[in-house]
Amino acid sequence: MFAGHADYARLEERARRALEPAVFDFYAGGSGDETTLAASAEAWRRVSLRPHVLRDVSSVDTRVRLLGREVPAPVCVAPMGYQTLAHPEGELAMARGARRAGALFTMSSRSSRRIEEVAAEAGPWWFQAYVMRDRGLTRDLVRRAADAGAAALVLTGDTPYLGRRRRDRDPGLIPDDMFGVNLGPGFDRASAEQAADVTYDDIAWLREISGLPLVVKGVLRGDDARACAAAGAAGVWVSNHGGRQLDGAVTTAEALPEVAGAVRDDAVEVYADGGIRTGVDVLRALALGARAVFVGRPALWCLATGGEDAVADGLAELCGGLAHAMGLAGVTSVTRIDRGLCAFENTRHNVET
């Protein structure tokens, strides 16, 4: 299913037909002119690979340790809200499919199924936290996630408020009962919106109340990555939120080498997401410095078109595509993928002060 971007396009098209137009657009769309959205997928393709010949690749090992826990492959599921819009079982089916494929699952703060219910079906999973205007709501969610077995917290740092998404035309798309499924009864919707005053100090707070290692999602700069490390983060996740926040933001393929370089000497893991569609894309991201990648929409389109089974198959295929690409590139272990494996046409230069 993911041997090329053409396969992805076909899958997306099938999802488009399977979903309500408003739902498809909510899922597929980005902010502003969708410049960042389009550029992000395209940017990986500008990364050429420099394969080795004559290596014994009869066995290829894609296993990797993420925050100390081994997973079979560095391909994980990104947090995405409201998955019951795509499939009646929503996050349940996604978590089950991920577990079957051996892929780490990230549960969104905006899950449309109850945390505990999803956790019961999931393999290893992380919980994505939004700091809400009422920090008490976040504290409760985070503690419930920790109790339910989340292995780490993911603090999304790029969403003080939502990006301006042209395709989001139906303000009633997310009814109150879906929005509030993990909030107490009689919750106040405004209090549960993202807080705009989240800072590096919240890293310590979240670690303390959850007892979990914390990953900051949305990092696009080296200096921010270092600031995360200094504030106690265990990981930084290079993301532009799938092109849904600041339109015009740099692509993750362009930001990744800078971020990875900045924290090379820190005990911080680096992940990346955004526009990753094939096993070759995964290899590109690993070569540019990511320890693992997360996929959003590819998993969502699987969910929409075939539920748990399609999720399991799609993720397995991505993992298989990675192993195959590694073999053709002459590398037998993800730990041995180095930057020299790629040649990158990055035509943008940071403007010096």
Ligand X SMILES: Cc1cc2nc3c(=O)[nH]c(=O)nc-3n(C[C@H](O)[C@H](O)[C@H](O)COP(=O)(O)O)c2cc1C
- Segment 197-216, which members bind a copy of itself (CB under 8 A)? 197-200, 202-203, 216
DSSP 150: -
Query: From the list 84, 108, 245, 305, which residue makes contact with a copy of itself (rule: CB under 8 A)?
Result: 245
Q: Which residues within the stretch 157-216 sit at the binding site for ligand X (CB under 6 A)?
A: none
Q: Which residues within the stretch 272-291 sit at the binding site for a copy of itself (CB under 8 A)?
A: 278, 280, 283-284, 287-288
Amino acid at 263: V
CB of 158 to ligand X, least distance (A): 8
Quick note: the x/- pattern for ligand X over 252-291, rule CB under 6 A, is: ---------------------xxxx---------------
Contact by Cβ (8 Å): 79, 351: no
What does 20 interact with, of a copy of itself, ligand X, none (CB < 5 to 8 A by kind)?
A: none
- Asked if residue 156 belongs to a known ligand binding site, the reply is yes
Contact by Cβ (8 Å): 114, 332: no
Q: What is the chain's Cα-based Rg?
A: 19
Q: Can you tell me the distance from the alpha carbon of 106 to that of 104, in angstroms, rounded to the nearest whole number?
A: 7
Q: Can you tell me the distance from the alpha carbon of 235 to that of 302, in angstroms, rounded to the nearest whole number?
A: 28
Q: Can you tell me the distance from the alpha carbon of 112 to that of 342, in angstroms, rounded to the nearest whole number?
A: 40
Catalytic, 87? Answer no
Tokens 């969403």, located at residue: 159
Residue in the shown chain whose Cβ atom is closest to ligand X: 296
Quick note: the x/- pattern for a copy of itself over 307-326, rule CB under 8 A, is: --------------x--xx-
**CB closer to ligand X, 36 vs 62:** 36
**CB closer to ligand X, 179 vs 344:** 179
- Compute how many residues bind ligand X; rule: CB under 6 A: 21
- Asked if residue 241 belongs to a known ligand binding site, the reply is yes
Strand partners, 154: 128, 215
Instruction: Give the H/E segment covering residue 210.
Output: helix 201-210
Is 114 a binder of a copy of itself (CB under 8 A)?
A: no
Q: Can you tell me the distance from the alpha carbon of 200 to that of 224, in angstroms, rounded to the nearest whole number?
A: 10
Contact by Cβ (8 Å): 194, 137: no
The tokens of 249 are what? 């933001």
* Binding positions for ligand X, rule: CB under 6 A: 27, 78-81, 108, 110, 128, 156, 217, 239, 241-242, 244, 273-276, 295-297
- Catalytic annotation, residues: 241
Q: Which residues are annotated as a binding site?
A: 79-81, 108, 128, 130, 156, 165, 217, 239, 241, 244, 273-277, 296-297
